[in-house]
Structure 1
Amino acid sequence: MVRKMEWAASANHLGGIPRKMVIMAVGAFAKAVATLLNSTSVHNADTLIRLVRSRPPGVPLITVSNHMSTLDDPVMWGFRGFPTTDANLARWVLAAEDICFKNPVYSYIFRLGKCIPITRGGGIHQEHMDEALERLSDGAWLHTFPEGKVSQGDLPIRRLKWGTASLIVRAPVTPIVLPIIHQGLQKVMPENYIFGRRPPFPLCNKNINIIVGDPIEFNLPNMRQKAISMSRNGSLPFTGWPCTSPDGLDEAAQRCLYTTISERIQTVMESLRSFSKSFLMSKV
């Protein structure tokens, strides 16, 4: 499989000028929606800003969040004090191929905006997941929506897809994993506004609340050994996954490991969601 417009995602494409222009324009839009048209409050913003600006050299960052609207990215980065318009610090993000890359113009713009196309249902070994892994290998920041789709109801965090867990395991340097929960963007861009469609423009005078958690720590060597032990007692069907290098985990062990990591992230995100509800009530 050929990676879609990977050349446009390169920092050297036309001297990096198109990327800087797109990141600045999108960042200005995010700032306007988050701080001018609406009101945004962020709990523990310093942790996110510190990890984006000054984490140890070569250490990648993965942020994970719930998915409330099609505007979550980039508007959730538009709060005051965040370097939204800096192309060098901007996140890479996994984006749905059928929405963001449905024609060459969209593909070019989203590629300049540091988006990596993901085919929903395409599995964790699709070509663009390898591209995401390469960005982590560079020590970059990657954002994912591990639930896999938008959900605008006040519901518990759904079972997470395995893609994020697979990136954590396969990265040469274990990424810092930072959970984020947000509320309010579903009111800025509701899915069913007019005749069951989204509004043509973001709505105004809404409250956006973002809760940044603390980094989730993973003892991967220990978790790998437990996954190997657990997999020997399992009876999951095999679909031909390759062994992961350098650990040589077979498919059964990978499934156990990805499940354990995903469940850990899901639990932390759900705890953060519960905290966000009590936190917001205390502000009323």
Structure 2
Amino acid sequence: MRPEEHPISPSLPWRTSSAFTMAMIGLLSRGFLHGLSRTEVNGLDGFLKLLDQRKDVEGRERGLITVSNHVSVLDDPMVWGALPFRYLRSPDNLRWGLGSYDLCFTNKALSTFFSLGQVLPTHRSKHSQFGGLFQPTIAQAIRILSKGPFIHSNDPPETPNPSLASPDISDPFASGHLTFSTNGTDTFPAPSAYLNRRHGWVHIFPEGKVHQKEDRTMRYFKWGVSRLILESNPCPDIVPMWIEGPDEVMHEAREWPRFIPRPLKRISITFGERLDVEKAFGDLRERWKRLHERESSNAPGGKLDVGVLTDGLKYAEEAVDLRKECTMRVREAVLKVRRQRGLSDEDPKVGLAETYRSEGTGKEGKMDDGSWVTDT
């Protein structure tokens, strides 16, 4: 498919179904937050102003990343119930999330529902050989944040399969849905292939796991968020957030019926100020740009597509150091919002991966430090 032939957006039935799904889930979340909970929302006016500036897709100049702590299995979508309903009816101006492949995409019905709900299928290393920092879904997220569309069919492999892209397939409603593959055999809608998805909004929980602890400390942040910041073009806007209370709604120690959210809990959702990304990450992006240019010169044609990395850009010491530093800066931005909520400073060691290695890679439930952890 040539660029001039490629559609601006998915089929009308798909867009309609997606808008309905997003609105209904948003309405249910809003009803629970404001009807069945004692909810406090801080910093919302500034965030809504940012969303208003992003209404015109063609006028967007950069993507948006929101990043927060992760305290319950209901954090997403529940926290987006904080948005007024008029914002919940416009999928083009709503978040894309990362959902566990082995939980959210196990059959056609679930895959369709979560795809309509703007969730990207993400493999967890614990459950899949296709997981990790360099899986195709991360490339999709980077492309959503960048200026698309991206309709490449010849990307270098991020999996044993020779391509990130699959042939076009029919969506449940009409033909012409562009797709990508996460493992070489499956097919999922490729949002970055459409003009109306460029410079989109991606929300990420960098802890990668639900973490519930009385002192409200966070686990270390994984490096996926650094890829979104370093590789998207241009650097997206970044809004840190802080969430409290959903851990009481769905605490990991809850008994039967576990699937029912507990009402009448106190919930707090705080939107931080939009970061000055040039000040916060400009030096790191400049270093990444120089490294990327050196590595690209050795690639076929002297160029790498957005989201595609050479082994040097994946594993070289300089690339690893950049991801580490970028991730720690993101974590500090979230901690700043945490401090605004009146919480005391963390012990610095809780932000290090080494602190949690004693848990083992597969351990869930109650930890030795009294926290509760769930892989999501």
TM-score by length of 1: 0.81
Counterpart for residue 236 of structure 1: none
Take 2:339 and 2:282, find their aligned partners in 1: how far apart are those partners?
A: 31
Counterpart for residue 135 of structure 2: 126
Question: Could you tell me which amino acid in structure 2 is paired with residue 171 of structure 1?
Answer: S
Take 2:276 and 2:242, find their aligned partners in 1: how far apart are those partners?
A: 18
Distance 1:226 1:80, change over 3 A: closer
- In angstroms, what is the RMSD of aligned CA positions? 2.6
Q: How does 1:239-250 map to 2 (within 5 A)?
A: 242=310
2:117 corresponds, among 107, 113, 120, to 113
Take 1:216 and 1:243, find their aligned partners in 2: how far apart are those partners?
A: 31
Counterpart for residue 159 of structure 1: 220
Question: Could you tell me which amino acid in structure 1 is paired with residue 212 of structure 2?
Answer: Q
Deviations 1:214-236 (A, max 9, x none): 2233444522566799xxxxxxx
Question: Percent identity at matched positions?
Answer: 28
Counterpart for residue 191 of structure 1: 252
Q: 3-state DSSP class of the match of 1:66?
A: coil
Distance 1:11 1:276, change over 3 A: farther
Tell me the CA shift for residue 111 of structure 1.
0.5
Q: Work out whether 1:84 is the aligned partner of 2:152.
A: no
Take 1:176 and 1:224, find their aligned partners in 2: how far apart are those partners?
A: 14
Q: How does 1:1-284 map to 2 (within 5 A)?
A: 11-12=10-11, 14-55=13-54, 57-79=60-82, 81=84, 83-121=87-125, 122-137=131-146, 138-154=198-214, 155-194=216-255, 199-219=258-278, 220-224=281-285, 242=310, 251-277=316-342
Contact 1:243 1:251 in 2 (8 A): yes
In the alignment, structure 1 segments of 5+ residues that lack a partner are 1-9, 230-240, 280-284
Q: Which has the larger radius of gyration?
A: 2
Tell me the CA shift for residue 27 of structure 1.
1.1
Distance 1:243 1:13, change over 3 A: farther
Take 1:268 and 1:225, find their aligned partners in 2: how far apart are those partners?
A: 20
Distance 1:13 1:259, change over 3 A: farther
In the alignment, structure 2 segments of 5+ residues that lack a partner are 1-8, 126-130, 147-197, 291-308, 345-376
Contact 1:28 1:85 in 2 (8 A): no
Report how many aligned residue pairs link the two structures. Answer: 255
Question: Could you tell me which amino acid in structure 2 is paired with residue 169 of structure 1?
Answer: L
Contact 2:39 2:266 in 1 (8 A): yes
Of 163-172 and 44-53, more deviation after overlay is shown by 44-53
